[in-house]
Amino acid sequence: MMRRPLIPFLAAASLLVPFAPALAQNSEPPQAWLFGAWTGGTFPAPSQITAATCLAQPTVIFTRDIVLRSTLTEATYEQRLVATVRATETGFEFRFEPAAPAPAEGGGGGLLGLSGGGQPGAVGFGCESADLLHVERHGENEITFPGCEDFPNPLVRCPAS
Dump pLDDT digits (tens) for 126-161: 999 999 999 999 988 999 999 999 999 999 999 987
| Higher per-residue pLDDT: 120 or 56 | 56
Q: What is the pLDDT of residue 23?
A: 44
Q: What is the pLDDT of residue 25?
A: 57
Q: What is the pLDDT of residue 28?
A: 82
86 pLDDT more than 80: yes
pLDDT (mean) for 56-71? 94
For 31, which DSSP code? G
Spatial neighbors of 146 by CB under 8 A, at least 6 apart, are: 134, 136
Question: Dihedrals φ, ψ of 7, to 5°?
Answer: -60, -50
Q: What is the pLDDT of residue 118?
A: 42
Half-sphere exposure of 145 (CA within 13 A, CB side): 27
Q: What is the pLDDT of residue 134?
A: 95
| Higher per-residue pLDDT: 113 or 64 | 64
Q: What is the pLDDT of residue 102?
A: 56
pLDDT (mean) for 81-86? 95
